[in-house]
Amino acid sequence: MPDHRRLLTLLMVAAVIWSVASAGWGGPVFHTGGAAVLGEIASALFPPELSPSFLGLALAATWQTLVFAVAGITLAIVLGLPLGVIASGAVFGPGRSSAVAIAAARFFLAAVRSIHELVWAVLFVAAFGLSSLTAILALTLPYAGILGRIYADLLNSVPQEPLQALRVSGASPFRVFLYGRLPMALPDAVGYTFYRFECAIRSAAIMSFVGIRGLGFEIQLSLNDLLFGQVWTLILFLLALVLVVDRWSSKVRRSMMS
Amino acid sequence: MSFSRASFYGFLLLAALSWAYLLLGENSGLDEFSSSKTWSNAAGFIQELAGVKSQAKPAFLNIDRWVDTGRLAYQTLIMSVLAMGMAGMAVLATFLPGARNVGNGDLGGAYSPSWSLLYYLLRVIFAVTRAVPELVWALLLVFFFSPGILAGAVALAIHNYGVLGKLSSEVVENLDPAPAKALRTAGASNLQMLLYGIIPQALPHFMTYLLYRWEVVIRTTVVVGFVSAGGLGRELRLSLSFFHYTDVAQIIICYLILVLAVDLAAAWLRRLARFE
């Protein structure tokens, strides 16, 4: 076993050397005047833009980003939970039709999570036009794919003894699921969903790229006007939002464990 | 009422408010999605992706296009590995001081003010780099980096440094402290304690996270390429804005192959090292 780990290390080091060697170092790394701009960006943090009107705008943008993240993650849970349960195979008896259902659910979850939410977004905007629902749909699909897969994994990795005890006492597969697997998998599932919610906030912010309002949208506007102080303020609001969700998540997990 | 139950109701309330805000607000999309015109437009878009409406030969039947796109996919792969290399090396250098228990004496050593200060500093850096998405880092970086793979790789590396740094430091905080304390009791120095008590336990977790993030990064390379002008992302954006829809379809196919290949490679590497 240690030899295999050494091989892994070797492969990783080789990959990094290969990537550095073939990155194409033909041109200059920084463009002319780049260093000056870097200095300008850094000094704009001290202090960032703190005028009341801009703080109001940043707060509104934070709310818009939060709204898209919440809408996207709720729809992703609604879609990912039943698909994850089907993909785990925990509620079915043996049989060909259940094997087909499991394979279909796994394929769908893998397919939708292969594509980044913003790539979904540019495709959906081309297909359906730009609207809030288009962006939410783009956010939902990959998140449902990843949540469904994790739910399936968690449902399958619960300890087997309590399930066996339920089965021996005559519980149907559905009841074994409801009173055995589900409660045991719940704390980790909630923790992971919260982590994804935090990721959804970032994803909602970059939906600005297709024209959805929020923190990313305002960051792009400020960058276009070279107002780096405003960019820092918006980044600090994004940081605060992410940290609040992070804190909330760890408090919920601790309260569920006790 | 327990905190988790209150949180559940709080989240439901937040979800209801969010959906109400979006669906009652302007340009919600409800009208569009309930009109048949939108759906026939979408069907038309899919037909254009498949190239059935155009006279020209679709891009995905053209060997030369596959060679060109294959080269871009190769560049995209380089971008992802470069990003993982930079992020991984930076994390390896900083994840130990980023763990609270390394500096504060929980592992049997003395409390060190400078290590504790370093801990807080690193935690702030992890939080900031993690909170800002890759695409926003890329938007900032193009102000001083020459456009290309490198700018995209650095943007990906900065965000993933924060993600991996936080995860790896938390691994160290949650480790079994017994081996480290035993080493300390046996007279090991700080360095020996870290080298033999902490790193062997933490490294497999770090490798697992690194491979897992690589799967995420390969999906994101395309998005970063939208702005940093490298690899498949740039080509996808150009093809979309020129309405070259069969090119779009071909790039998406290429992207999917790349994602699948990286998922399989990461799974193979994990099995190789028996991390799962």
Note whether B219 contacts A: Cβ–Cβ < 8 A.
yes
Structure tokens at A206: 């970059």
pLDDT in tens, A178-216: 888 888 898 889 989 999 999 999 999 999 999 899 999
Domain extents in chain A: 49-257
Q: pTM for this structure?
A: 0.90
Give residue B108's pLDDT.
64
More confident position, A179 or B111: A179
Out of 1.10.3720.10, 3.40.190.10, 3.30.70.260, 1.10.10.60, which CATH number does the structure's domain A49-257 have?
A: 1.10.3720.10
- Could you tell me if B111 and B218 lie in one domain? yes
Residues in chain A with CB shorter than 8 Å from the CB of B239 are none
Portion 108-127 of A in contact with B at CB < 8 A: 114-116, 118-119, 122-123, 126-127
CB contact under 8 A, B272 and A4: yes
Closest residue to B135, CB basis, from A18, A23, A209: A209
Looking at chain A, the whole-number percentage of residues with pLDDT higher than 90 is 55
Range of the domain at B31: 3-50
Closest residue to B274, CB basis, from A4, A19, A34: A4
Highest averaged pLDDT of the listed ranges A31-45, A139-153, B260-274:
A139-153
Length of chain B: 276
Note whether B34 contacts A: Cβ–Cβ < 8 A.
no
Give residue B184's pLDDT.
81
Distance from CA of B67 to the nearest CA of A (A): 18
Q: Examine the pLDDT at B23 and tell me if it is beyond 70.
A: yes
Nearest CA in chain B to A134: B29
Distance from CA of A75 to the nearest CA of B (A): 10
Please give the tally of structural domains in chain B: 2
Looking at chain A, the whole-number percentage of residues with pLDDT higher than 70 is 98
- Could you tell me if B139 and B18 lie in one domain? no
- ipTM exceeding 0.85? yes
Give residue B32's pLDDT.
83
Confidence tier at B228 by pLDDT (50, 70, 90): confident
Q: Examine the pLDDT at A39 and tell me if it is beyond 80.
A: yes
Mean of pLDDT values over B123-148 = 91
Note whether B222 contacts A: Cβ–Cβ < 8 A.
yes
Mean of pLDDT values over A5-31 = 82
Distance from CA of B135 to the nearest CA of A (A): 7
Mean of pLDDT values over B91-119 = 82
Closest residue to B149, CB basis, from A18, A23, A130: A23
Note whether A257 contacts B: Cβ–Cβ < 8 A.
no
- Could you tell me if B35 and B128 lie in one domain? no
- Could you tell me if B15 and B104 lie in one domain? no
Q: Examine the pLDDT at A18 and tell me if it is beyond 70.
A: yes
Q: Examine the pLDDT at A40 and tell me if it is beyond 60.
A: yes
Q: Examine the pLDDT at A80 and tell me if it is beyond 70.
A: yes
Portion 66-105 of A in contact with B at CB < 8 A: 66-68, 70-71, 74
Amino acid identity of B149? I
Cα dihedral sign, A62-A63-A64-A65: positive
More confident position, B34 or A222: A222
Mean of pLDDT values over B123-144 = 92
What CATH number has the domain bearing residue B176? 1.10.3720.10
Q: Examine the pLDDT at A20 and tell me if it is beyond 90.
A: no
pLDDT in tens, A111-155: 999 999 999 999 999 999 999 999 999 999 999 999 999 999 999
Give residue A234's pLDDT.
95
Mean of pLDDT values over B182-211 = 85
Structure tokens at B179: 């081996």
Looking at chain B, the whole-number percentage of residues with pLDDT higher than 90 is 43
- Could you tell me if B113 and B227 lie in one domain? yes
Q: Identify the residue among B75, B143, B256, B263 best suited for mutation to test binding to A, counting A beta carbons within 10 A and taking the highest.
A: B143
- Could you tell me if B91 and B20 lie in one domain? no
CB contact under 8 A, A220 and B135: no
